[in-house]
A and B are shown apart, each in its own frame.
Chain A
Amino acid sequence: EAQVTQNPRYLITVTGKKLTVTCSQNMNHEYMSWYRQDPGLGLRQIYYSMNVEVTDKGDVPEGYKVSRKEKRNFPLILESPSPNQTSLYFCASSQETGFRTQYFGPGTRLLVL
């Protein structure tokens, strides 16, 4: 089954404790992206990647890092989480060629205390 998976689905952590949210897709997509969803703001892009070893900032990159060492994986790293990063995070992927549709993962709900 074609899908985007994220882990963990739920996470509670404390300020300053480094964490990684994993994202993996099995559709051989070149493009991957991270969004955060906050009430009243819709989804905002954090980082995106056009292909392996190619990443770039989205609209709200501060406090986040990403890497793209393999085509299927695109982890989101919070080196020193803060309470304002409490949010619902979505990973998405799509084909570069004829790009029109993004496929979303199920989401990771993060609470930073």
Chain B
Amino acid sequence: GNSVTQMEGPVTLSEEAFLTINCTYTATGYPSLFWYVQYPGEGLQLLLKATKADDKGSNKGFEATYRKETTSFHLEKGSVQVSDSAVYFCALLDTGRRALTFGSGTRLQVQP
């Protein structure tokens, strides 16, 4: 079946540091890939997405590239802010069930 593996957190960075959160997946076919973000006490919000190989999703300074050869979708940001502190979930779409398969989430803490 489908699965998503994320690096364990928490990830603690200083403001303006470079961020990478690793995500790899296992799936049949060519799934769409997503990053969702969950701020404290809130639901999940779509951060970015990519629907085919070599696509780059980007939003709010975050980027991730769909790498079919390495089955990866790593999240990056060049300069994090305190307001980026949240839990980040990598996910893939099972087109049959319209279901998202999520990774376990990575907590990011950015210190001023």
- Residues of chain A having any CB pair with chain B under 8 Å: 4, 31, 33, 35, 40-45, 48, 50, 56, 58-59, 90, 92, 94, 96, 99-107
A31 to chain B: closest residue by CB: B98
User: In the docked arrangement, what's the CA distance between A50 and B95, Å?
Assistant: 12
In the complex, the answer to whether A42 meets B105 with C-beta atoms within 8 Å is: yes
Interface residues of B (CB under 8 A from A): 4, 32, 36, 42-46, 49, 51, 89, 93, 95, 97-100, 102-105
Complexed CA–CA distance, A102 and B36 (Å): 10
Q: What are 30 inter-chain pairs, A to B, with CB distance below 8 A?
A: A33-B98, A40-B104, A41-B104, A42-B104, A43-B89, A43-B100, A43-B102, A45-B97, A45-B99, A58-B99, A59-B99, A90-B44, A92-B44, A92-B100, A94-B98, A96-B98, A99-B93, A99-B95, A99-B98, A100-B49, A100-B93, A101-B49, A102-B100, A103-B46, A104-B36, A104-B44, A104-B45, A106-B43, A107-B42, A107-B43
* Overall SS of chain A's interface: strand
Q: How far is the CA of A101 from the CA of B51 in the complex (A)?
A: 11
In Å, the complex CA distance between A96 and B46 comes to: 17
**Most B-side CB within 10 Å, residue of A31, A92, A104:** A104
- What is the number of contacts between chain A and chain B, taking CB atoms within 8 Å? 57
CA distance A23 to B112 in the complex (A): 38
* With contact pairs A48-B97, A104-B44, A105-B43 given, residues A42 and B103 touching in the complex (Cβ less than 8 Å): yes
* Structural contact, A106 and B93, CB atoms closer than 8 A: no
Contact B104–A48 (Cβ < 8 Å): no
- A92 surroundings in chain B (CB, below 8 A): 44, 100
B93 — nearest CB in chain A belongs to which residue? Answer: A100
What is the CB-to-nearest-CB distance from B11 to chain A, in angstroms, rounded to a whole number? 16
A58 adjacent to B97 (CB under 8 Å): yes
Picked from B43, B97, B98, B102, the residue with its CB within 8 Å of the CB of A42 is B102
Whole-angstrom distance between the alpha carbons of A56 and B43 in the complex? 23
The answer for the CA separation of A100 and B46 in the assembled complex, in Å, is 10
